[in-house]
Amino acid sequence: MFGRKKRHLFVVDTLVGNNSRVNGDLNFTGGCHVDGTVKGNVSADPDTESELIVTEDGTVEGNVHVPYVVLNGIVRGDVSAGQRVELGPTARVIGNVYYNLIEMAIGAEINGKLVHQPEGHVPLLEQTQHLQPATADATGNS
């Protein structure tokens, strides 16, 4: 409507079915639909139009790093969406949500912080994951 970008059509390239369980990290391109359980991190290249949909029966037990996220299920970990997060009425996040744009329905639950990350900004979550511990001398210099 007012200055909104036109949404792309969602095409399922990766499907985790209702009776499926993935143990380990899931990295995808395109569209990913989760009806089952993923025990691991879910990620897609931030420079793509990749989209993750987690249905009311879906669960992710790990961090999510995807440009577009539509959540109706449960994520036990941090959610980082460089473009847009849509939280449906049955969505539950047990962790922080890093977003550029967010849409929340009545009933959605977040047990963590909401952190706005403007477009083009490297999410705080990704910055902290790449930091290496620095050694400091007695003066505090690295």
Q: pLDDT tens across 3-54, in order?
A: 455 455 568 889 999 999 999 999 999 999 999 999 999 999 999 999 999 9
Q: In this structure, is residue 102 part of a structural domain?
A: yes
Going across the sheet that includes 59-60, the strands are 21-23, 37-39, 59-60, 74-75, 92-93, 109-110
Q: Provide the CA 20 distance to its chain's centre, in angstroms.
A: 20
Range of the domain at 18: 12-130
Number of domains in the chain: 1
Asked if residue 140 is part of any domain, the answer here is no
| Residue 141 located in a structural domain | no
Q: What is the pTM of this model?
A: 0.78
Residue 25 is assigned to a structural domain of this protein: yes
